Amino acid sequence: MDNLDTLGRPLRDLRISVTDRCNFRCVYCMPREVFGPDFQFLDRDELLTYEEIVRFAKIAVESGVEKIRITGGEPLVRRDLPLLIQNLKKLEDLKDLTLTTNGALLADLAAPLYDAGLSRITVSLDSLDEDIFREMTDSTVSVQTVLKGIEEAQKVGLTPIKINVVVKRGVNEQSIVPIARYFKDLGHIVRFIEFMDVGNTNAWSLEKVVPAQEILEAINAELPIEAIQANYRGEVAQRYRYLDGSGEFGVITSITQPFCGDCTRARLSPEGELFTCLFGSTGYDFRSLLRTGASDDQIMKELVSLWGRRTDKYSELRTAATQDLIRVEMSHIGG
């Protein structure tokens, strides 16, 4: 029987953040003024070990989770990541195992990740223009490096590949159509994401959001499109196809059209706190349970009970007042 929250939503997706560190400093996620040389990242012994992650994931899968996404921070900076994938892959009843990365280290890791059992991959890339890309990511990594990573991922079979593009007003609107065109021709699925008010450090404001409607109009003006059906309940992106039959893309409208009603996701932080909403302020500490001899049954009971109490619908309630709430940082729990 499904474990439902107070709004009737089942727990289906688990996002596991394996590190709070990153080799980029995207302005919308980890602005360098905050995440600078003095920032206190988690110590190694605070992180869940791979054994602890796999144990928790197994319990979550037994409680209804069907999809796991590995994220971060930047997941590829954590050592021996393929080892984690290999062990998660063994979980019976897990239908989908995927990962989101900025692509900087993907060229070398695509093959080992595929060999370990990763099914497919999402790569974030906000512009094909080197200057705009540098402005967004505040890193010295080039667009070419990320494209090489995507090419390798395709070569080894980590497909279908999705490309996440955060759109920020005044920075990368001009990149929307070139990115749509480029990845359509390669057969990858782009998802344009409205700039979100995650965390408290990214200087978010409504004026910096490019509404999905505007993104759709920009694409449609050059590459005619039409809406298509969602693949399944809880799919985050609204899907569109190109009328010439050359593929599809999506938009993620957390700001202009919230989708809390279908939100089936929970997020595990690197130190083992479970957040039932991307905009949560506190998580439930599962690391303590994992490290103090609790049985699998006890942990499952806590998980089912936590999910059963869940009332989250932040995006639907977003107002000027909610902007003052303390929210977990995106780089801590992943997208």
**By the criterion CB under 6 A, which residues form the site for ligand SAM?**
22, 28-29, 71-72, 74, 100-102, 124, 164, 166, 193, 195-196, 198, 202, 330-331, 334-335
Distance (Å, whole) CA 104 – CA 123: 9
Q: Which is nearer to ligand SF4, 226 or 324 (CB)?
A: 324
**138 exposed, middle or buried (CB, 10 Å; 0-12, 13-18, 19+)?**
middle
Q: Which is nearer to ligand SAM, 190 or 290 (CB)?
A: 190
Q: Which is nearer to ligand SAM, 10 or 250 (CB)?
A: 250
- Phi, psi at residue 285, to the nearest 5°? -80, 95
Q: Which is nearer to ligand SAM, 124 or 175 (CB)?
A: 124
Distance (Å, whole) CA 276 – CA 60: 13
Q: Which of 328, 331, 332, 333 binds ligand SF4 (CB under 6 A)?
A: 331
Alpha carbon separation from 141 to 32, 125, 148 (Å, rounded): 15, 12, 12
**Residue 312, contacted partner among ligand SAM, ligand SF4, none, CB below 5-8 A by kind:** ligand SF4
Residue 112: count of CB within 10 angstroms of its CB: 16
**Residue 195, contacted partner among ligand SAM, ligand SF4, none, CB below 5-8 A by kind:** ligand SAM
Query: Which 3 state secondary structure label does DSSP give 254?
Result: coil
DSSP-assigned letter for residue 232: S
Q: Smallest gap, in angstroms, from Cβ of residue 105 to ligand SAM? A: 11
Distance (Å, whole) CA 179 – CA 198: 24
Site residues for ligand SF4 per CB under 6 A: 22, 24-26, 29-30, 72-74, 102, 124, 259-260, 263, 265, 277-279, 312-315, 331
